Amino acid sequence: MTDATPKTPKTPKKKAETVKPDADDGIHPLARPFLWLDSKWARRAPFWIFLTAALGLLAWEFFHPRHAYSKWEEIFGFYEIEGFFGFCLAVLAGWPLRKLLWRSEDYYDREGSDD
């Protein structure tokens, strides 16, 4: 038996259309080219880049002869350790600096002089 209904040709499926944001979505037009920075891979990339660079420099230190000026520089990985603790110090110094430099939210809105 044959089917009496004519077959329709198959049409290719359309790709999912991207939704374009409205002009009133609260995003500044000059910020739109940088929205990719909020993606998951863009937030994780700096960690992997710096980790790879640190391990590469540590490996380079193993093969490259050093000319140390002090006894501390003779320790394997001294520059990496020094850089890590220097970075930690810079980050942790932000806490007391914030308490020292902090101003109330209405600091610039207050009337009168603060002398």
- For residue 4, the SS3 value is coil
Q: Specify the number of domains making up the chain.
A: 1
Residue 54, domain member (yes or no): yes
Residue 8, domain member (yes or no): no
Q: What is the pLDDT of residues 5-61, one digit of tens each?
A: 666 666 666 555 555 655 567 888 898 888 888 899 999 999 999 899 989 988 988
Q: For residue 83, what are the CA distances in angstroms to 22, 69, 77, 88, 115?
A: 46, 18, 10, 9, 42
Residue 106, domain member (yes or no): no
Residue 115, domain member (yes or no): no
Residue 70, domain member (yes or no): yes
Residue 92, domain member (yes or no): yes
- Global pTM value: 0.48
Residue 32, domain member (yes or no): no
Residue 59, domain member (yes or no): yes
